A = this chain, B = another copy of it.
Amino acid sequence: MDCLKPHGLKTDLYELTMAQVYLERGKTERAVFSLYVRKLPEVRNFLVAGGVKRVLDLIGEFRFSKDQLRYLKSLNLFKDWFLDWLEQFEFRGNIYAIPDGRIVFNEEPILQVEADLPSAQILETFVMNAVHLETLLNSKAARIYSVAGGKILVDFGCRRAHGFEAANAAAKAALTCGWNATSNLEAGMLYNLPVSGTMAHSYVMVFGEEEAFREFYRHYPQNAVYLIDTYDVLEAAKLVVGLSKEGYKPLGVRIDSGDIPKLVVEVRRLLDAEGLKDVKIIVSGGVDEYKIAEWRGLPIDGFGVGTRYVTSADKPYLDIAYKLVEYAGEPKFKLSEGKKTYPFKKQVFRFYSNGRMDYDFVTLYGEEAEGEPLVELVLKEGRPVKDLGDWKVARERFLSDFERLPEGLKGLEKVPYEVQIDARLEPENYLPKPRGE
């Protein structure tokens, strides 16, 4: 909520101090920066690209207002000609990207920025933050979806996401990656997402269970899910049976605490015995993909998934980088161990075998190959080349990729996927030859 518009100050100080030096020293030739994940976390077999559409939607507002320029001037670091340059700034470069919803792996450039060096540099923090957040959340949402095996998944995480911006991103990521709904109303309105919800313990405590359920049904007969763990789950389940006979039959019941494996079996048996086979059992409270896997085979129809999803709790960040790979036509790279970078603007080709992804091949952009190219030019000279579509389109991309994902990568065990790097990208090729040779 505490965010400024336009977005130019969504950056680190050093982006601007460096840009001033670049400009003053004429380092304004074409640069390419590549935004990618160096290494997949141990607890992810694949990632799902995200944040590209958001970058495209917001990049026109990556500018600097008079107030913001006045603030920058007050830092006593910037010269007037540079502040003028910032005042005139709008991004007029190119962006190459792998669209939201596509499954990606390490070393694959989700976003590549091509522009004069200062322009490409000052975008760094902004595009990293946007792509990191949505790729992180998409990847976690997809992992949960993958393990849930078709069960209902609803995002309950709004209250413990890292701010409402993150909460909204999480709701969108959930729906992008196959989930059914979110409880977050602002995200529902912003992105046109399906919303759903049940009731809280406070509500049950105020009315008492019987009246709470009855009243809820009276108001929301199409959407009633009764929360049955405020006092005694089995007693509440019996109450649900009684109410159902009176005509207050809910869509489902929710259990938010207790010994879940034991409770769901008993509640299911109780409901089934009374002909309530279609009353669903929803479980929430500390749910994540590990719990879902542990509870596989139990009579659970769906999950409310909150905190551990929206914070990507088992791995709350990705090893994402924004690296200079080309300047003035020359390859740029780092050789440091574990942080080696490959030079040049890149394309990724995906190869399939029997309808499943077989391996990916990272090569120079502009090369031809048999496989499916993943990288597209999405912004040309500051203008969108095509509409990437909303979350529904991203969801189609995700579901289509997910279908073709090797079965082994869909589980919780670590399974590698082959990403080949074109030998011509090896930085060693571009080292100056030792003297005397």
Contact of A219 among B20, B183, B202, B216 (CB under 8 A): B20
Closest to A314 in B: B316
Chain A positions 331-354 with a Cβ under 8 Å from a chain B Cβ: 332, 334, 336, 338-339
Contact of A162 with B185 in the complex, beta carbons under 8 Å:
no
With an 8 A cutoff between CB atoms, is A27 at the interface? Answer: yes
Stretch with Cβ within 8 A of B (4 or more), from A6-14, A368-376, A399-407: A6-14
How many Å from the CB of A231 to the closest CB on chain B?
Answer: 8
Beta-carbon contact of A10 and B206 below 8 Å: no
Chain B residue contacts of A264, Cβ below 8 A: none
Binary CB contact string for chain A from 60 to 95 against chain B (1 if under 8 A, 0 otherwise):
000000001001100101000000000000000000
Is A320 on the interface with B (CB-CB < 8 A)? Answer: yes
Contact B186 A257 (CB under 8 A): no
Q: Say yes or no for A362: interface residue by CB 8 A criterion.
A: no
> Is A426 interfacial (CB 8 A cutoff)?
no
Q: Does A317 contact B (CB under 8 A)?
A: yes
Expressed in whole angstroms, the Cα–Cα distance for A229 and B188 within the complex equals 46
A257 touches B339 (CB 8 A): yes
Report A181-218 residues with CB < 8 Å from chain B CB: 183-186, 188-190, 195-203, 205-207, 215-216
Known: A190-B4, A219-B24. A166 touches B168 (CB 8 A): no
1/0 contact trace for A159-177 toward B, CB 8 Å?
A: 1111111111100000000
Q: Contacts A219-B21, A324-B205; is A160 near B185 (CB within 8 Å)?
A: no
Say yes or no: is A392 at the interface (Cβ < 8 Å to chain B).
no
Q: Which residues of B contact A200 (CB under 8 A)?
A: 14-15, 18, 121, 124
Identify 16 new A-B residue pairs, CB closer than 8 A, beyond the known A3-B168, A12-B183.
Answer: A1-B3, A1-B58, A2-B169, A2-B190, A3-B165, A9-B186, A12-B159, A14-B199, A18-B200, A25-B207, A25-B215, A27-B207, A33-B202, A75-B195, A205-B332, A308-B317
Across the A-B interface, give the 8 residue pairs with the lowest CB-CB distance, nearest first: A13-B197, A14-B197, A163-B165, A202-B324, A162-B162, A162-B166, A9-B186, A311-B316
Residues of A within 8 A of B (CB): 1-4, 7, 9-18, 20-22, 24-25, 27, 31, 33, 54, 58, 68, 71-72, 75, 77, 117, 121, 124-125, 128-129, 132-133, 136, 156, 158-169, 183-186, 188-190, 195-203, 205-207, 215-216, 219-220, 223, 229-230, 257-258, 307-308, 311-313, 316-318, 320, 322-324, 327, 332, 334, 336, 338-339
